[in-house]
Structure 1
């Protein structure tokens, strides 16, 4: 495990001005993967974009963690459907 790829949760809390309990709730609900690195809770740097999306949903829409999980699942489903549609359209173009 490359420890340079992880950002400490306390640093993220300070930057985004949120409580550490928010991270724990997200982790407990399975929305966000948090790992322990040298006795500190950390988030992988590749998870930052999804975390920022979570923060926007939470702050702008005042949605709880369970609702955030549902919204993220729906957004993921929509993205998968878009990709399927693009693939289908590309296959149909072969027959035109």
Structure 2
């Protein structure tokens, strides 16, 4: 994977004023994926929007890791259900028209 698509976790933490242990905890919980190169932790660029949401929940709303896990799970379920509804609506429109 090219290094240009990786963000150093330490830089992310400095920018967002959080501890590196928070990112490690999210990774251990399976909420994000990190890449370790030369004993440094990196976050993939496509993970940044989700990671920034979790930082806001933790930092600004004072939600703990367990709460973030629950919120993330419920949001994922909701998105899955919305996709299913859209697919079912498409199928239904074939029979109505």
Q: Residue 11 of structure 1 corresponds to which residue in structure 2?
A: 11
- Output the CA distance in 2 between the equivalents of 1:86 and 1:60: 33
Paired residues in the alignment total 96
* Alpha-carbon contact 1:9-1:41 (below 8 Å) kept: yes
The runs of 5 or more residues in structure 2 that have no matched partner are none
What are the Cα deviations for residues 14-46 of structure 1, in whole angstroms up to 9, with x where unaligned?
111111111111111111111212221110001
Moved more, 20-29 or 59-68: 59-68
Alignment of 1:50-89 (within 5 A): 50-89=50-89
Query: How much is the aligned-residue C-alpha RMSD, in angstroms?
Result: 1.1
> TM-score scaled to structure 2, two decimals?
0.91
> TM-score scaled to structure 1, two decimals?
0.91
Moved more, 45-54 or 27-36: 27-36
- Output the CA distance in 2 between the equivalents of 1:91 and 1:68: 35
Q: Residue 91 of structure 1 corresponds to which residue in structure 2?
A: 91
- Output the CA distance in 1 between the equivalents of 2:12 and 2:60: 18
CA deviation after TM superposition for structure 1 residue 76, in Å:
0.5
